[in-house]
Amino acid sequence: MSLITLIAQASLLVQLVMLILLLASVISWTMIFGKRYAIRDALRSADDFEDAFWSGGDMNNLYSEWSGRRRDPTGVASIFVAGYREYNRLAGKSGVDRGDMVDGVQRAMRVAMSREVETLETHLPFLATVGSTSPYIGLFGTVWGIMNSFRSLGVAQQATIASVAPGIAEALIATAMGLFAAIPAVIAYNRYSNHVERLISRYEVFSEEFLSIVNRQSFQMQKAS
Amino acid sequence: MAGRIRKIFINTKSLVYAIVIHLGVLALLLFSFDWGSTTIKSSMAKPQVEPIKAKMVSEADVQKQLDRIKAREEEKKRKELEAKKRLDDLLKQQQLEKQRLADLEKKKRLEAQQANALAEKRKKEEIRLAKLKREEDQKKRAAQKKREAEERRRAEEQRRREQAEKKKKQELARREAERQAQLKAQLEAEAEARRVAEAVNDARSRYIPIIQQKVDRNWTRPSGLKGLNAGVRVRLTPGGEVISAKVVRSSGNPVFDRSVENAILKASPLPIPSDRRINEQFRDIQFNFDPDRNFVSSL
């Protein structure tokens, strides 16, 4: 009695449950890998950009370099690009005082940051859902299978352990599959949400720092004029 | 654009990885997951091959050896012939013996058959006797049973008759008692009725004047009318409230009649006895209203 015959003998509902769980597992693994690459990219680009930013180069060069790249800037770079673009626009205009400038830059950066956060957080809810519900789905399949096998046991004249055990085993496969789908999803969810939170706090710190630089700059400009 | 392409690439790669992982797990399970058919590891015995032992030998030795072998073979042949002869003899003897044994066996069997036939005959006789005896016994037992049944039936009949008589007597007694009880109840009811009637009469003679008085107190004399009287019929609630008051014997003067009706309605509630049985008799009363004379009730 191999695994395949067990699955093939299961009732239609249990097979359906197994199919759902298999799909959920495949999709959640796809998201686990996809998220892994996305987070790795975000971390790397944040490292690259911060290195470039704090190396003391000219901010104009930095801006033209990052905004002119083939790829759209991501992560910290996109926040910087949005903030700096706004700064340039406001700095060219007359009659813009310091408070307006800081406010404008801050708003532009907040918009960029919320977009970044959104892309970082995609798919995480799906992982959480799979992690919390697939054990229940599996359990449902198991309960159904066991109900069926007990019903057939009631009909049978002689009840032996051999007449129930295969039914229960095939029902328990559903629970096993549910757990198989849920455990990686929960682990990945916890891990990735932690990473995402750390990235978000990094973005926030960067935008605060950039804002203080803008503030200082505009103060000097005001004084000069 | 480039970002999107990269995203698609990453997604495809991730999907492939996910499917690979699932296939791997499935393969692992298929390998390790095998119930029921316990794999029997056949311990294949290795064929044991004996090594060839060789030795160097000389020509003379070989000749000698050959001679020896030849001699041995001849000897062997001779011995075989002898053995064959002996074997033939033995076989013949054995056959004879067998024949004898068979004869003996046949004889024995015949004897046994005769003995069997005898025994069977005796057995049959015994069975017949036993059967006869059993039949006799049965007959006797049946007779006994019949007698017993008869006796029982008679006893039962006797008992039933007695019971019926007893029942009859009881029934009679019961009927008598019932009749007496009924009589008594009737008498009691009559007495009760009489008592009630007396009480009602009594109450009537007591209460009608009171009622009339109360009506009189509430009556306002129409000016210039004197010496008139009217018979009224009054319907009351159990509490004495007036439901309706109607003149049934007119005084001849409608003003007087109406004043009487008004007086009765004003006098509500009228005093009536509270005893329930007597009260019932006061739900619908008639009396004569005559303010000048003392009231004469005519219920």
- pLDDT of B52 reads 60
Buried-exposed string B80-102: b where 16+ CB fall within 10 A, e elsewhere: eeeeeeeeeeeeeeeeeeeeeee
Long-range contact pairs involving A221-224 (C-beta distance under 8 Å, separation at least 24): A221/A91, A222/A97, A222/A98
Provide the domain limits for residue A59.
3-224
Spatial distance between the Cα atoms of A129 and A124, rounded to a whole number of angstroms: 9
Collapse the DSSP code of B18 into the 3-class scheme (helix H, G, I; strand E, B; otherwise coil) and give the result: helix
**Cβ separation of B22 and A25 shorter than 8 Å?**
yes
Minimum Cα–Cα distance from B5: chain A residue: A71
Q: Which of residues 140-199 of B touch A (CB under 8 A)?
A: none
Cβ atoms of B242 and B270 closer than 8 Å: yes
B12 touches chain A (CB under 8 A): no
| Residue contact B30–A22, C-beta within 8 A | no
Is B207-289 CATH 3.40.50.980?
Answer: no
Q: Give the pLDDT of residue B55.
A: 60
Helices and strands: H and E segment counts in chain B? 4, 3
Torsion of CA B259, B260, B262, B267, to 10 degrees: 140
Report yes or no: B29 at the A interface, CB cutoff 8 Å. Answer: yes
Contact list, A29 vs chain B (CB under 8 Å): 14, 17-18, 21-22
Peptide bond into B269 cis (omega under 30): yes
Task: Give the DSSP per-residue string, B61-122.
Answer: HHHHHHHHHHHHHHHHHHHHHHHHHHHHHHHHHHHHHHHHHHHHHHHHHHHHHHHHHHHHHH
Average pLDDT, chain B: 84
Test mutation, A6, A27, A30, A78, chain B, max B CBs within 10 A: A30
Answer yes or no: do B22 and A26 touch at CB < 8 A.
yes
B8 interface with A at CB cutoff 8 Å: no
* pLDDT of the residue at B203: 81
Rounded to the nearest angstrom, the minimum Cα separation between A110 and chain B is: 22
Of B207, B287, B204, B216, the residue nearest B247 (C-alpha):
B287
Given an 8 Å threshold on Cβ–Cβ distance, is A31 in contact with B36? no
Nearest-angstrom CA–CA distance, B293 and B250: 17
Q: Do A38 and B10 touch (CB under 8 A)?
A: yes
Distance CA A36, CA A58 (A): 33
CB contact under 8 A, B2 and A71: yes
User: What single letter denotes the amino acid at residue A130?
Assistant: V
Cβ of A1 under 8 Å from any chain B Cβ?
Answer: yes
Tens-digit pLDDT string for chain A (225 aa): 567 777 787 788 888 999 999 999 999 999 999 999 989 988 998 898 888 888 877 878 888 877 777 667 778 888 888 888 888 888 777 777 778 888 889 999 999 999 999 988 888 999 999 999 999 999 999 998 888 888 887 777 777 777 777 778 888 889 999 999 999 999 999 999 999 999 999 999 999 998 998 888 888 877 877
CA angle A112, A118, A119 (to 5 degrees): 95
* Rounded CA separation A38/B212 (Å): 113
Residue B76's identity, in one-letter code, is K
CB of A175 within 8 A of CB of A140?
no
Per the structure, the count of domains in chain A is 1
Between chains, do B14 and A37 touch, taking CB under 8 Å as contact? Answer: yes
- Sequence-distant (≥ 6) Cβ neighbours of residue A78 within 8 angstroms: A72, A112, A115, A116
pLDDT at A166: 77
Who among B3, B15, B34 is closest to A71 (CB)?
B3
- Give every strand in the sheet of B284-289, ordered side by side: B242-249, B230-236, B284-289
Question: Within 13 Å of residue B192, how many CA atoms lie on the same side as its CB?
Answer: 7
Whether chain A has a CB inside 8 Å of the CB on B35: the answer is yes
Amino acid at site B233: R
| Interface contact flag, B22 A29, Cβ < 8 Å | yes
How distant is the Cα of A187 from the closest Cα of chain B, in angstroms?
Answer: 16
Picking from A1, A27, A34, the nearest residue to B10 by CB comes out as: A34
Residues of B in contact with A32 (CB under 8 A): 14, 18
Q: What is the pLDDT of residues B71-116, one digit of tens each?
A: 999 999 999 999 999 999 999 999 999 999 999 999 999 999 999 9
With contacts defined as CB-CB under 8 Å, which chain B residues touch A27?
18
State how far the alpha carbon of A98 is from the alpha carbons of A85, A95, A212, B189, in Å.
Answer: 16, 10, 12, 118
Within 13 Å, how many C-alpha atoms sit on residue A198's CB side? 10
Give the residue extent of every domain in chain B: 207-289
Listed as ranges, residues in chain B with pLDDT below 50 are: 37-47, 296-299
Put simply, whether A32 touches B (Cβ < 8 Å) is: yes
pLDDT for res B45: 43
Q: Looking at chain A from residue 65 to 124, which residues have their Cβ under 8 Å from any Cβ of chain B? A: 70-72, 74
**Whole-structure pTM value:** 0.47
What pLDDT was estimated at residue B196?
Answer: 82
Residues of B in contact with A31 (CB under 8 A): 14
Sort out which chain B residues have CB atoms less than 8 A from A37's CB and list them: 10, 13-14
For A153-176, letters b (16+ CB in 10 Å) and e give: eeeeeeeeeeebebbebbbbbbbe
Nearest-CA distance from B47 to chain A in Å?
Answer: 35
Per-residue tokens: A81: 């690009």
Task: State pLDDT tens for residues B64-73.
Answer: 989 999 999 9
B6 interaction partners in chain A (CB closer than 8 Å):
71
